[in-house]
């Protein structure tokens, strides 16, 4: 026995599921012992189920290749085979919500990458550096459903990772933000596989991504909210206006941000103070030295032409928010450009960091 916690991956044959499996290959705390996907993959060895559609660019982990894929719709198949599951399901939201709840009802915690439960009032939408205190709602979630060991925790939309930590760092330092305008330039990998047709993306930018602007404008308020009784109460600010675009980049979401502080003149931070706040930002994942936590969650670059997806997305192993072009804004107060790795911090590795925090806090005991 390895002594590691056995985990499962739901939606294991999809793009995000594959990334979970690759990122977990040498994880010091977790090992993949259970894989599940759609009925058409069920009964096959994992290597056979993903033959000719393994997308990660490296070999399938040897320990996972021979595992038999189970039908993700049968939650009882996971009993005794894993302690918790990562959910990378690709189904309708109603189907995912119901299925994740069935796993939790069987005593199997769900660490979800899917959006189906993000607005469930007693489900934490977790960015570990920001709203770790939202884990307190899990006890109420269990009481509400009558669950013993099971629960559901989700991560937010990938585009939020470009600006949520810089925003939180400023608010935490005593510089509340009143309004923000955010324009995202989102990588094609955010659309999954096969994603956006190449004819639409080559030599082109698509100025619309269905549902993304609503997520960008609203999810931040839940993350910045607080546990109040049986639910998470949203924050009232900042007011966010967003435009979300798809650009011909493989990995790495960029955000162009202008923000206005909710402070009188003379109390607003200088550019030097903002940079100090960002570069000194640390939180619970860093204090606990979680395996996937970046040592420096926010990295500030001073070159005029950075950050760039190809050059900066792997900063801190793809888990940092990289910021550049911090300057005064003639309309609001300041503006900057931020970058995060959408398929690492914004997807599977962000989910793994959530699980690490849950493990460190004893939720899998």
> Choosing from 82, 168, 244, 253, which is the catalytic residue?
253
Is 134 in the active site? no
Q: Where are the alpha helices (DSSP H) in 173-257?
A: 198-201, 212-223
Q: Give the distance, in angstroms, between the CA of residue 166 and the centroid of all CA atoms in the same chain.
A: 15
Instruction: Give the burial class of 28: count Cβ atoms within 10 A of its Cβ; 0-12 exposed, 13-18 middle, 19 or more buried.
Output: exposed
> Choosing from 82, 158, 220, 244, which is the catalytic residue?
158
Provide the token pair at 30. Answer: 């977790």
Is the distance from CB of 337 to CB of 325 less than 8 angstroms? yes
Q: How far is CA 191 from CA 88, 128, 187, 343, in A?
A: 13, 24, 8, 10
What span, in angstroms and rounded, lies between the C-alpha atoms of 173 and 176?
8
φ and ψ at residue 348, rounded to 5 degrees:
-65, -45
Is 158 in the active site? yes
Q: Which of 127, 41, 24, 126 is nearest to 84 (CA)?
A: 24
What is the per-residue DSSP string for 339-351? EE-TTTTTTHHHH
Sign, CA torsion 313/26/128/213 = positive
121-125 LR contacts (CB < 8 Å, sep 24+) = 121/230, 121/231, 121/232, 122/230, 122/231, 122/232, 123/152, 123/153, 123/154, 124/153, 124/154, 124/232, 125/154, 125/155, 125/156, 125/219, 125/222, 125/223, 125/232
Helix (H, G, I), strand (E, B) or coil at 36: strand
Q: Is 63 left (phi over 0), alpha (psi -120 to 50) or beta?
A: alpha
Which residues carry out catalysis?
Answer: 158, 253
């Amino acid at each position: 026995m390895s002594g590691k916690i056995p985990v499962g991956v739901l939606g294991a044959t999809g793009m995000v599921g594959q990334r979970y499996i690759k990122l977990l290959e040498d994880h010091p705390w977790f090992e993949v012992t259970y894989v599940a996907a759609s009925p058409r993959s069920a009964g096959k060895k994992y290597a056979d189920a993903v033959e000719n559609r393994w997308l990660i660019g490296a070999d399938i982990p040897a320990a996972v290749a021979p595992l038999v894929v189970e039908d993700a719709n049968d939650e009882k198949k996971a009993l005794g085979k894993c302690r918790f599951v990562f959910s990378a399901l690709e189904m309708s939201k109603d189907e995912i919500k119901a299925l994740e709840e069935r796993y939790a009802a069987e005593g199997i915690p769900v660490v979800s990458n899917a959006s189906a439960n993000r607005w469930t009032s007693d489900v934490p939408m977790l960015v570990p550096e920001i709203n770790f205190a939202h884990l307190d709602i899990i006890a109420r979630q269990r009481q509400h459903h009558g669950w013993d060991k099971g629960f559901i925790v989700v991560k937010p939309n990938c585009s939020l990772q470009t600006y949520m930590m810089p925003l939180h760092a400023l608010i935490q330092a005593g510089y509340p933000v009143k309004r923000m305008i955010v324009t995202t330039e989102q990588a094609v990998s955010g659309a999954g596989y096969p994603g956006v047709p190449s004819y639409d993306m080559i030599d082109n930018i698509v100025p619309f991504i269905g549902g993304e602007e609503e997520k960008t404008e609203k999810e931040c308020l839940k993350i910045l909210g607080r546990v109040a009784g049986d639910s998470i109460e949203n924050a009232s600010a900042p007011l966010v206006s967003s435009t979300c675009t798809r650009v011909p980049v493989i990995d790495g979401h960029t955000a162009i941000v202008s923000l206005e502080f909710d402070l009188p003149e003379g109390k607003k931070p200088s550019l030097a103070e903002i940079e100090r706040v960002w570069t000194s930002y640390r939180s619970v994942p860093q204090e606990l030295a979680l395996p996937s936590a970046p040592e420096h969650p926010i990295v500030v670059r001073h070159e005029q032409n950075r950050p760039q997806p190809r050059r900066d997305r792997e900063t801190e192993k793809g888990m940092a928010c990289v910021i550049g072009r911090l300057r005064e804004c003639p309309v609001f107060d300041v503006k900057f450009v931020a970058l995060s790795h959408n398929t690492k911090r914004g997807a599977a590795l962000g989910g793994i960091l959530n699980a690490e925090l849950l493990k460190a806090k004893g939720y899998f005991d």
